[in-house]
Amino acid sequence: MFGRLGAPEIILILVVIVLLFGAKKLPDMARSLGKSARILKSEAKAMKEEGNSTSAQTPTTGEQPPVQRTIQAAPGDVTSSRPVAEPTDTTKR
Protein backbone atom coordinates (compact mmCIF):
# COMPACT_ATOMS: atom_id res chain seq x y z
CA MET A 1 0.00 0.00 0.00
CA PHE A 2 2.66 2.54 1.05
CA GLY A 3 5.55 0.91 -0.82
CA ARG A 4 4.56 2.12 -4.28
CA LEU A 5 5.20 5.80 -4.81
CA GLY A 6 4.71 6.92 -8.37
CA ALA A 7 5.59 10.20 -10.06
CA PRO A 8 2.34 11.99 -9.08
CA GLU A 9 2.80 11.15 -5.39
CA ILE A 10 6.43 12.30 -5.37
CA ILE A 11 5.51 15.56 -7.12
CA LEU A 12 2.72 16.15 -4.60
CA ILE A 13 5.13 15.57 -1.70
CA LEU A 14 7.65 18.01 -3.20
CA VAL A 15 4.96 20.66 -3.70
CA VAL A 16 3.83 20.31 -0.08
CA ILE A 17 7.44 20.63 1.14
CA VAL A 18 7.97 23.79 -0.93
CA LEU A 19 4.71 25.27 0.37
CA LEU A 20 5.55 24.45 3.99
CA PHE A 21 9.14 25.64 4.08
CA GLY A 22 9.26 28.15 1.25
CA ALA A 23 11.59 28.19 -1.72
CA LYS A 24 14.11 30.50 0.01
CA LYS A 25 14.77 28.21 2.96
CA LEU A 26 15.18 24.96 1.03
CA PRO A 27 18.76 25.57 -0.24
CA ASP A 28 19.88 26.60 3.25
CA MET A 29 18.27 23.51 4.76
CA ALA A 30 19.92 21.26 2.18
CA ARG A 31 23.29 22.93 2.78
CA SER A 32 23.07 22.48 6.55
CA LEU A 33 21.94 18.88 6.12
CA GLY A 34 24.95 18.19 3.89
CA LYS A 35 27.28 19.86 6.37
CA SER A 36 25.87 17.74 9.20
CA ALA A 37 26.29 14.58 7.13
CA ARG A 38 29.95 15.45 6.43
CA ILE A 39 30.60 16.06 10.12
CA LEU A 40 28.95 12.76 11.05
CA LYS A 41 30.95 10.91 8.40
CA SER A 42 34.27 12.42 9.52
CA GLU A 43 33.53 11.64 13.18
CA ALA A 44 32.61 8.04 12.37
CA LYS A 45 35.81 7.67 10.36
CA ALA A 46 37.88 9.17 13.19
CA MET A 47 36.28 6.84 15.73
CA LYS A 48 36.92 3.84 13.49
CA GLU A 49 40.58 4.84 12.98
CA GLU A 50 40.97 5.49 16.70
CA GLY A 51 39.52 2.08 17.53
CA ASN A 52 41.86 0.36 15.08
CA SER A 53 44.94 2.21 16.34
CA THR A 54 44.24 1.57 20.02
CA SER A 55 43.57 -2.13 19.53
CA ALA A 56 46.75 -2.57 17.49
CA GLN A 57 48.98 -0.92 20.12
CA THR A 58 50.53 -2.92 22.90
CA PRO A 59 49.78 -1.65 26.40
CA THR A 60 52.60 0.42 27.89
CA THR A 61 53.24 1.42 31.46
CA GLY A 62 53.93 5.10 30.69
CA GLU A 63 51.12 7.54 30.08
CA GLN A 64 50.85 9.27 26.74
CA PRO A 65 49.74 12.90 26.52
CA PRO A 66 46.28 13.38 25.02
CA VAL A 67 46.20 14.18 21.32
CA GLN A 68 44.34 17.32 20.27
CA ARG A 69 41.89 16.64 17.43
CA THR A 70 40.14 19.18 15.23
CA ILE A 71 36.70 18.75 13.70
CA GLN A 72 36.23 20.29 10.28
CA ALA A 73 32.79 20.68 8.74
CA ALA A 74 34.03 20.24 5.20
CA PRO A 75 37.41 19.67 3.58
CA GLY A 76 39.17 23.02 3.50
CA ASP A 77 36.57 24.71 5.70
CA VAL A 78 38.64 26.38 8.41
CA THR A 79 36.02 28.87 9.55
CA SER A 80 33.93 26.31 11.40
CA SER A 81 36.71 23.99 12.61
CA ARG A 82 37.17 23.75 16.34
CA PRO A 83 39.42 21.76 18.68
CA VAL A 84 37.84 18.91 20.57
CA ALA A 85 38.71 18.01 24.14
CA GLU A 86 38.93 14.24 24.43
CA PRO A 87 37.59 12.64 27.61
CA THR A 88 40.31 11.28 29.84
CA ASP A 89 40.23 7.79 31.25
CA THR A 90 40.64 8.02 35.03
CA THR A 91 40.27 4.31 35.68
CA LYS A 92 43.38 2.21 36.25
CA ARG A 93 43.60 -1.37 35.08
**What's the pTM value of the predicted model, to 2 decimals?**
0.41
- pLDDT tens for the 93 residues of the chain, in order: 567 888 899 999 988 988 888 888 888 888 999 999 999 999 999 888 887 776 555 555 556 666 666 666 666 665 665 566 666 667 765
Phi-psi region of 76 (alpha: psi -120 to 50; beta: other; left: phi over 0): left
**pLDDT value of residue 36:** 94
**pLDDT value of residue 43:** 92
C-alpha 64/C-alpha 92 separation (Å) is 14
**pLDDT value of residue 68:** 65
C-alpha 64/C-alpha 78 separation (Å) is 28
C-alpha 48/C-alpha 54 separation (Å) is 10
Comparing CA positions, the residue from 63, 79, 73 lying closest to residue 37 is: 73
